[in-house]
Amino acid sequence: MIYGAGAVGGVVAARLAMAGHDVAVVARGAHLEAIRRDGLTLRQPSGDTVVRLDAYEHPAGTGKDVVVLGMKGMDTAAALVALEGFEGPVVCLQNGVANERAALRHFPDVYGVHVILPGSHLAPGVVEAHCEPVPGILDLGRYPAGTDATAQRLAAGLESAGFVSQPRADIMRWKYRKLVLNLGNAVEALCGRVAGLDEAAAPVQAEGEAVLRHAGIDVATQEEDRQRRGDIMRWPSDAARAGGSSWQSLARGTGTVEADYLNGEIVLLARLHGTAAPANETARRLVQRAARQGLPPGSMTPKEFLDAVEAVTLRTIGRS
């Protein structure tokens, strides 16, 4: 059961179903209605495939033996409550590092996935995988650490659906590396995919690296990440991908973004360890406000964002 069939969960659900696995999805709203009516459309560079699969509004009664959480972090708590009574493994196919710990409060067998899957979900009933022939790298492992026969089985299932996947005993090291990359999501959503975006995101990500070091957290290195990715992910030359997950949330006008569980994770760690994270707090606060106000992606310029970071940093220094 793929609980949350958006850009990542939807692509995984479609590919697993196409490979012959028994898959159901839990979705909501117009997306659920479209899947029930027309099927789930998987859009890939080589063309569209319509996949017919069972779609539910609630996870109770789906009868599946594995639950894969595909929703954003702010929706995890409600999903775990809805899953009360489920007895199988729970797999966190999610960005951030807080979902696994939350799931472990409810379930004994929890697995984390290091998600490298460029995808989009902008229209009901449609998900897009931007890379082909390999749509993504989905390494996984037990939380908090280790591998087992279930991890091997899950990785084999993903491999059969065209993903690259291997069990990793140290999966959280890799998820923290992905967290650093995802810290730029809020900046991309605020500024859009424009010139100067990388410069605007740089202080947010550098601050994240510094906070993780200060907290003594073991993080996979940038070189390890580069080696793992290698040349596996191939983008078509004419690919015109939408922005990342937070950009897509603003574009769809969902009213929410995942920043509390990305930038907010760095802010929390900084406070727990006696320091501050003004750049990430600025990104978190501004993108949450943009979501509440229904602002589209690109509501501020990179310079405006950097000016806001500088102002908050100066106030933080003044307080200390």
Residues 297-300: contacts with CB under 8 Å, at least 24 apart: 297/188, 297/189, 297/190, 297/192, 297/243, 297/247, 297/250, 297/251, 298/190, 298/191, 298/192, 298/194, 299/190, 300/190, 300/191
Q: Which residues partner with 120 through β-bridges?
A: 128
239 pLDDT exceeds 60? no
Average pLDDT of the residues in 290-295: 98
Q: Which domains does the chain have, with CATH numbers?
A: 1-169 (3.40.50.720), 172-320 (1.10.1040.10)
Q: Please report, to the nearest 10 degrees, the dihedral formed by the alpha carbons of residues 222, 227, 232, 235 taken in order.
A: 40
- Is residue 16 very low, low, confident or very high in pLDDT (cuts 50, 70, 90)? very high
Say how far residue 62 (Cα) sits from the centre of its chain.
24
- Return the axis-axis angle of helices 263-272 and 197-214, rounded to nearest 10°: 30
Q: Please report, to the nearest 10 degrees, the dihedral formed by the alpha carbons of residues 89, 76, 186, 234 taken in order.
A: 30
For 98-242, strand residue ranges (E) read: 110-116, 119-123, 126-129, 137-142
pTM of the model: 0.95
Angle in degrees, CA 124, 128, 133, rounded to 5: 155
**Three-state DSSP class for residue 48:** strand
- Is residue 63 very low, low, confident or very high in pLDDT (cuts 50, 70, 90)? confident
For the chain, strand residue ranges (E) read: 2-3, 24-26, 40-44, 47-51, 54-56, 67-69, 90-92, 110-116, 119-123, 126-129, 137-142
Give pLDDT tens digits for 190-202: 999 999 999 999 9
Q: Which helix (H) or strand (E) holds 290?
A: helix 278-292
Query: What is the reported pLDDT for 105?
Result: 97
Provide the edge-to-edge strand list for the sheet that holds 47-51.
Answer: 47-51, 40-44, 126-129, 119-123
- Is residue 315 very low, low, confident or very high in pLDDT (cuts 50, 70, 90)? confident
Query: What is the reported pLDDT for 240?
Result: 60
25 pLDDT exceeds 80? yes
Give pLDDT tens digits for 68-103: 999 999 999 999 999 999 999 999 999 999 999 999
